[in-house]
Structure 1
């Protein structure tokens, strides 16, 4: 017997329609690429979005076409999130921090037909245009007065497209399982791999994000995503915020400590999210000024695992509670969040866990032989996931080996799960150090050395060893004005980890290589350290 319930498709335009109707004056605030702050309500955002939907149709964009962006987090990018997907096309957010060769590669692999770009990338797009033969239309995301001289001669102007079309538009009836977004991974070996999101999966993911044991968002919140809108849909906050009528603050291109701190204070931000390197910069800025923030309630940290020292530093200066999250581009991206259980103390060791699974995300740990490992918090193995917002395959079926025959996605992470369901990462499979046949957790080594007050950041990598296959090397950067002898740091680590885990060397470096999504590039470190001139290069 079938239920007698209305069958309404879960599609993305319904989110902005809801926000415009029930929260018309709640704002989207942007630090524009051109400079000044821009703000408008959700009702105004919807009207401009419908103008852009009409413009896209006039440009010949059809359902299923890929429309690319090379852009920062702005109100115009927000409009494209709904205008492109709302007409049945697919929004392809390109990471501008990729190398030019990779940008051209992903545009060609996606077969993008239109490219919207911020003015900071005008000259770059002019040079790349000939290498992207499927892109027939270029649009500069600005007005005529701010169009750079080095923009392509054929580029259209975003604000002129908006002005030329009416704000009346009826969204087409879309299949909720049709594709809505395309985002390429940046952490895999070889060429980037495309993750193809859908309307249904993204709506369900946004609904899960706002739940009390997840991001706990409501119309009373002011949300500042410091994950850019090209990075896994800014962790879905451009959809989750309007879903509940929360104010959305978009930082543009500026994610340095002073700029982020200024936005937090000026807009009364309550919810923050981003990778650890962002919060290092914010904490350093506030420390230099001897200040703390007062409006922040929660700081969600993902992308890479923060150390205990960094968590304490962030909570002290930003004033809110750090909640670790874990996810990937392939999981839309949220998989788990570290929300304490009732009566559970927020102890430091507990906060180092990535969190418990949300409804909708199944987790399992498997051994090297594929056997299911127990949830005892002590048995590390490969983390595999499945769920309605987890990728079932890569675009054009690249990288099929990451998907198991029984329907799970192999994340490439090594982790444990305890009896309460809390996930604790120990490493990426590609980063784990195997010494004498046993695994050494790089995350635990980094946490141990970062507990020293002189250390700002750290990266543990395995280096070849004639007897033990690999031994750990710790590379650290120091806080401004600090100095400490490397042997002191080595002794500091020795007090906190198993004897055979203690690195053979702790090396102080000026900086660590940071990738396009704010993570330390350990593969680059390993490749450099494998060369004879390793020490001089680092």
Structure 2
């Protein structure tokens, strides 16, 4: 027997029309090279309607992929809605990719049109002649003095909107499984793979961000998404903010720590989100700004070190809340906010809870599996295996036949590539990426735990642990360490600091002191680059 409820699709037009009608008075602010600009939701909605007409006028096909190569701005948010609300697919392009990767994903996605910030033109326009499928390049003038090419394919965003009539009536997407957005993985191993989000998955993901034990976003919030809008839809935060009517503060190209903290102070931001490297750079400046308006600083993209979270707790009055996910999970899968069973824990124990990845959010199922036998492992906080996930906003396959037999199980679960433990209350603790685990003498060593303990040293800024080839033990841990300015430490100091904190056989055999840990295009530590630098081809130096 079926229930007798109305059958209405879960689609982004509902989110748009709700915001247009109810939250027209709320504001969207963008930091620009000339200062700050502000519009109301009502003004933004009218521009979304004009942009929808522009797409039709330019002959962009019904299910076209529409590329965006842009900062976090109000105009990028216009694309976030005008494109999917007209049945098209927004393909956010990573502005930090190499030219060859950009060319690959634009071709693979089949983008018909690309919207690009004027300041970013030099990064992508040289590829134009190699991308004949892109019929139009629409320049969003962000105030940069970059020369605009004299080419019939190049159009001006504001000029197009100025002459367009606003779309009249309600946007309609009949099928909630219609594709809404396309993001590509960072491609640290092989070519990037496309993850195609649906209207249904996007709406459900947005709803879960509004729930109390996840992010609890609400109409009274002022949200500053520092995580780039090209990276997993800025973790879905722009869609969630529009759904609940929160005020938005966009940083534009101003990504320096001081500029971000200034935005928080001036506009009384309540929620902000970014990768750990952003929050690490802000630590020395925390005492210079009034950050009392903040109720949540969200960290993700890579593990948030306990020392970093505690530095924010000391300097800003609240710790970083860690969330975990990946492009394939839209990305929100877990949030590490303490629960009632943690009541009564001391400060050190609570810091340890926040350093975990936390509980799965509602509607996401997790399991850990023995990588060799495939057997599901118990949730006892000690057994660790490959973390697998399923849920309504988790990928079932890759776009365009980007096949990866190791990415999905026979029963349809996502193989995350992470090794984890899960305790009896469902709290996940990542041990490592499967490719980053150090297997020494048949036993596993967690590079993540070693990194966290090394970064607890007051003179250490960053640390990455990689596997060093070893004739006797197969692999041994090696630490790559970035010291604070003026600090003087040697290998023996790092080993002494770790002694008693980790098992003796976990102590690194070598410590490399470096100026900076190389990062991927999404701000994660690039251990691949470190392995190639110190142990190319897995061969011992001098062997």
CA distance in 1, matches of 2:73, 2:201: 24
CA shift for structure 1 position 307:
1.4
Partner of 1:383: 387
Partner of 1:74: 73
Maintained 8 Å contact 1:298/1:323: yes
CA shift for structure 1 position 285:
2.8
Task: Give the secondary-structure state (helix, strand or coil) at the position aligned to 2:340.
Answer: coil
Kindly report which structure 2 residues correspond to 1:173-322, keeping only aligned pairs within 5 A, or say none: 173-286=173-286, 289=288, 291=289, 293-322=291-320
CA distance in 1, matches of 2:255, 2:188: 25
Partner of 1:443: 448
CA shift for structure 1 position 292:
5.6
CA distance in 1, matches of 2:36, 2:241: 19
Q: 2:411 aligns with which of 406, 409, 421?
A: 406
Kindly report which structure 2 residues correspond to 1:8-407, keeping only aligned pairs within 5 A, or say none: 8-32=8-32, 34-142=33-141, 148-151=146-149, 153-154=151-152, 155-170=154-169, 171-286=171-286, 289=288, 291=289, 293-345=291-343, 347-368=350-371, 369-401=373-405, 402-407=407-412
Task: Give the secondary-structure state (helix, strand or coil) at the position aligned to 2:536.
Answer: coil
Maintained 8 Å contact 1:292/1:317: no
Structure 2 CA distance for partners of 1:276 and 1:152, relative to 1, 3 Å = farther
Task: Give the secondary-structure state (helix, strand or coil) at the position aligned to 1:320.
Answer: coil
Deviations 1:219-259 (A, max 9, x none): 11111111100000000011001111111111112221111
Q: 1:519 aligns with which of 502, 507, 524?
A: 524
Unaligned runs of 5+ in 2: none
CA distance in 1, matches of 2:260, 2:487: 24
Maintained 8 Å contact 2:86/2:173: no
Deviates more, 1:482-491 or 1:373-382: 482-491
CA shift for structure 1 position 399:
3.0
CA RMSD of aligned residues (A): 1.8
Q: Is 1:498 aligned to residue 503 of structure 2? A: yes
Maintained 8 Å contact 1:258/1:282: yes
Give the alignment's TM-score, normalised by structure 2.
0.95
Maintained 8 Å contact 2:311/2:319: no
CA distance in 2, matches of 1:399, 1:491: 46
Deviations 1:71-117 (A, max 9, x none): 11111100000000011010000101000010011000001000000
Structure 2 CA distance for partners of 1:4 and 1:460, relative to 1, 3 Å = same
CA distance in 2, matches of 1:506, 1:71: 39
CA distance in 2, matches of 1:324, 1:533: 33
Structure 2 CA distance for partners of 1:384 and 1:493, relative to 1, 3 Å = same
CA distance in 2, matches of 1:281, 1:131: 38
CA distance in 2, matches of 1:44, 1:64: 27
Maintained 8 Å contact 1:126/1:152: no
Structure 2 CA distance for partners of 1:52 and 1:169, relative to 1, 3 Å = same
Task: Give the secondary-structure state (helix, strand or coil) at the position aligned to 1:527.
Answer: helix
Kindly report which structure 2 residues correspond to 1:433-472, keeping only aligned pairs within 5 A, or say none: 433-472=438-477
Deviations 1:168-190 (A, max 9, x none): 43313431101010000004411
CA distance in 1, matches of 2:149, 2:249: 28
Deviates more, 1:394-403 or 1:337-346: 337-346
CA shift for structure 1 position 167:
2.4
CA shift for structure 1 position 158:
0.5
Partner of 1:428: 433
CA distance in 1, matches of 2:522, 2:414: 21
Maintained 8 Å contact 1:462/1:471: yes
Task: Give the secondary-structure state (helix, strand or coil) at the position aligned to 1:516.
Answer: coil
Structure 2 CA distance for partners of 1:152 and 1:326, relative to 1, 3 Å = farther
CA shift for structure 1 position 358:
1.1
Maintained 8 Å contact 2:448/2:465: yes
Partner of 1:5: 5
Give the alignment's TM-score, normalised by structure 1.
0.96
Structure 2 CA distance for partners of 1:260 and 1:88, relative to 1, 3 Å = same
**What is the count of residue pairs matched by the alignment?**
532
Unaligned runs of 5+ in 1: none
CA shift for structure 1 position 532:
9.7
Maintained 8 Å contact 2:119/2:145: no
Structure 2 CA distance for partners of 1:227 and 1:152, relative to 1, 3 Å = farther
Deviations 1:181-205 (A, max 9, x none): 0000004411000000000000000
CA distance in 1, matches of 2:411, 2:519: 35
CA distance in 2, matches of 1:532, 1:360: 42
Task: Give the secondary-structure state (helix, strand or coil) at the position aligned to 1:334.
Answer: coil
